[in-house]
Structure 1
Amino acid sequence: MTIPVIIDCDPGIDDVMALTLAFAHPELDIKLITTEPGNQTQAKTIHNALAFTSYMKQDIEIARGLDAPFFRKLEIAAEVHGDNGLGDVQFPEPTIQLSNRTAIEAMKETLIASEEQIVLIATGPLTNIGALLLAHPEVKSKIKYISYMGGAAVGGNMSPTAEFNVYVDPHAAEIVFQSGIPIVMSGLDVTHKAYVTLEELDRIEAIGSDFAHKVAAMLRFYVHAAKQTAFHSPEFENRIRLHDLCAVSYVLTPELFEGDDCYVAIEIEGKYTAGTTVVDYEQRTGLPHNVKVLHTVHREKFVEQFMDAVKVMSRHIG
């Protein structure tokens, strides 16, 4: 049985890794890919989505979302993902054409037309999904749950308490988290444990395909760039964190993860804490749980799953 999904992303090196895993598993019926800015500007993220999906020989509609957060000035992560968003790697010019539908139109119409509930996989800021829910609240019942890479119960990578994706558009995140739709949050608590080592990266490169070499080049750029950021820690010196991959991996293999059901709120006004996901682990608010907060991953099986995906797609591309 297949799982119908919509993938909302901001490609981005780790978004490309997440798409690789999704493309490699036919049990995911990818109805639509939508983009927003985040890891790079919208012009670059939409180009990367089109070029990478074309390179991977996938026939999937790709629709352009909103170009900026709701109320904040756009911040991008060019220092981590590079000038084109994919490190030093270039993919051939896309053969897929951009959809005539906007992301919001395409998501609404795809959800309404579906006979079964659809899982939303979100690996960037939540601008598009927040806008969808504001404009078309009638689609909520058609969403099974949202598998989201974003947030953190403890610590941050954009401020001491805020993770990048939520920090970029906390107002959209607040709309989504308060929507009543079930959410599985792959925050930094779990994604910092979802890494490949440099030795494992050598094994990926040894697959020998053009795609494997591109994956290795992107990830080597990624780990080097991460070392230059203010939130780099010596414990991650030889670890490449595959943040966005967790959101796809959970949909495929939830048994690889552990988490707790909690109430989670988004801080949108704090001078020092805007974009923080406030996780009520102690249930002190008395509010009902709205998010499953992941904190543990079976790393070895997670890495094996990703390596297998690179092999599968290498054969598919030929």
Structure 2
Amino acid sequence: MRQKINLIGILLGITVFSACNSEKKKDIAETEKIKTETVIEEKVESKKMVWIDADLAVGKKNINRPGYSDVDDGYAVLQLLNAENVEIKGMSTVYGNNSIENAFAIGNYINKEFIDHKISVFKGSGEPIDINNVKTNDAVEALASALKKEPMTILAIGPATNIGILILKYPELKSQIKEVVLVAGRRTPNDIFNIGTKGVKAKDLNFDLDNAAFQVLLDYEVPLVLCPFEVSSKVWIEQQDLDTLKAFNIPMNWLATASQPWLEQWQTQGATGFNPFDALASHYIISPEDIISEPLLARLELHPDDTIKENEKQVFKQYLLCDDTKGTPVKYCFDVAPDYHQKLIDSYKNK
């Protein structure tokens, strides 16, 4: 009888131990599940929601003048598409380096050929803001709808026309804009945008094409990041870089091949390569630690046009000037990390 009781006790002990062990394993499994879900949630939340507004012109010849249009907008778009910490919420196009029709066509081509999870591409403005008759467009309305759903960063690498119209039409959406990253600005009117060594002076094109749009952004104190010629002039894409990029993947082969005539165009001006202007702005969004910036104040000022030879103060234009004296607060990018060039090239490799 005693042996039977002892046996029952042992069996009860084993049952209790097994139940406790099972509960412990269940608790551990639940804890691990929560940890996994938290990590996945944090990973999703760490992605930056970005809208691209671009004057795409890759591979297109200039309109009404010889030569090819800029290719740097293509470098910005493909870099963001390749970034693991960025989610593209939409893309709009704008006139600038070329026509709005060409920009829209290239945007759709990139979307069709190179993006696995398709995004929507919208046609924006084909001309500067008319302050006396502000008209919206498909791009502005699409961006407004997207901002109503969630806050976003906007990469605006053409004239700021679409963004200016957005702010005028929907000023309440300013709070949904984390930053607008633009390619424009300089410290003084004497900071010349030299292209090569043969005396060619470039315009601050995005700004020059629509001064009013930039004035709107400053007046409404939209959070702005400026990636001007000062920072992009310190970075060069040369022939060996194009050869390297062509071997990375199909999108980069397309872009690097289309960049060949653009590179040769710069070489005729005495340069060894070209500055990938817009890629500095997209890189800021992906890895802001690689782009050195400082807080400054921005404003518009009228001065003689520095791109006209022997001007003698006959032709004037507006300048977007940034210093510490007066104006609207902006973040001004002016230099890159010491190992930036390699980081830029590596950003186009398949992840």
Which TM bucket (shorter chain)? 0.7 to 0.9
Per the alignment, residue 164 of structure 1 pairs with 205
Question: Whole-Å Cα distance in 2 between the matches of residues 310 and 34 of structure 1?
Answer: 22
Question: Whole-Å Cα distance in 1 between the matches of residues 108 and 181 of structure 2?
Answer: 22
Q: Which amino acid aligns with 1:311?
A: K
- Contact 2:55 2:94 (C-alpha < 8 Å) held by counterparts: yes
The structure that is helix-richer by fraction is 2
Change (3 A) 1:212 1:129: closer
Matched, 1:67 2:126: yes
Question: Whole-Å Cα distance in 2 between the matches of residues 68 and 268 of structure 1?
Answer: 22
- Contact 1:8 1:122 (C-alpha < 8 Å) held by counterparts: yes
- Contact 1:124 1:150 (C-alpha < 8 Å) held by counterparts: no
- Contact 2:92 2:124 (C-alpha < 8 Å) held by counterparts: yes
SS in 1 for 2:350: helix
Per the alignment, residue 226 of structure 1 pairs with 266
Q: CA deviation at 1:176?
A: 1.2
Q: CA deviation at 1:297?
A: 1.0
Question: Whole-Å Cα distance in 1 between the matches of residues 194 and 214 of structure 2?
Answer: 17
Per the alignment, residue 112 of structure 2 pairs with 54
What stretches of structure 1 of length at least 5 have no aligned partner?
A: 73-100, 314-318
Question: Whole-Å Cα distance in 2 between the matches of residues 129 and 300 of structure 1?
Answer: 33
Question: Whole-Å Cα distance in 1 between the matches of residues 78 and 202 of structure 2?
Answer: 30
Per the alignment, residue 293 of structure 2 pairs with 259
Q: Which amino acid aligns with 2:84?
A: P
Q: 1 or 2 for the larger relative contact order (CA 8 Å, sep ≥6)?
A: 1
- Please tell me whether Structure 1 or Structure 2 has the larger radius of gyration of its CA atoms: 2
Question: Whole-Å Cα distance in 2 between the matches of residues 157 and 183 of structure 1?
Answer: 25
SS in 2 for 1:290: strand
Matched, 1:276 2:319: yes
Change (3 A) 1:68 1:125: same
- TM-score, normalised to structure 2's length? 0.71
Question: Whole-Å Cα distance in 2 between the matches of residues 146 and 160 of structure 1?
Answer: 27
SS in 2 for 1:277: strand
Q: CA deviation at 1:67?
A: 1.4
Per the alignment, residue 89 of structure 2 pairs with 31
Question: Whole-Å Cα distance in 2 between the matches of residues 134 and 49 of structure 1?
Answer: 25
Q: Which amino acid aligns with 2:74?
A: V
What stretches of structure 2 of length at least 5 have no aligned partner?
A: 1-45, 58-70, 132-136, 306-314
Per the alignment, residue 9 of structure 1 pairs with 54
Q: CA deviation at 1:307?
A: 2.8
Question: Whole-Å Cα distance in 2 between the matches of residues 70 and 310 of structure 1?
Answer: 35
Question: Whole-Å Cα distance in 2 between the matches of residues 134 and 306 of structure 1?
Answer: 35
Question: Whole-Å Cα distance in 1 between the matches of residues 194 and 222 of structure 2?
Answer: 26
- Pairing 1:100-111 to 2, within 5 Å after superposition: 102-111=138-147
Change (3 A) 1:46 1:253: same
Q: Which amino acid aligns with 1:3?
A: K
Q: CA deviation at 1:124?
A: 0.3
SS in 2 for 1:245: helix
Change (3 A) 1:206 1:29: closer
- Pairing 1:1-318 to 2, within 5 Å after superposition: 1-12=46-57, 13-58=71-116, 59-71=118-130, 102-114=138-150, 117-153=151-187, 154-156=191-193, 162-207=203-248, 209-227=249-267, 232=269, 234=270, 237-267=271-301, 272-280=315-323, 283-285=324-326, 287=327, 289-298=328-337, 300-301=339-340, 303-312=341-350
Question: Whole-Å Cα distance in 1 between the matches of residues 47 and 256 of structure 2?
Answer: 30
Change (3 A) 1:305 1:275: farther
Q: CA deviation at 1:252?
A: 0.9
Question: Whole-Å Cα distance in 2 between the matches of residues 49 and 66 of structure 1?
Answer: 14
Q: Which amino acid aligns with 2:232?
A: T
Q: CA deviation at 1:199?
A: 2.4
CA RMSD of aligned residues (A): 2.5
Question: Whole-Å Cα distance in 2 between the matches of residues 108 and 267 of structure 1?
Answer: 30
- TM-score, normalised to structure 1's length? 0.78
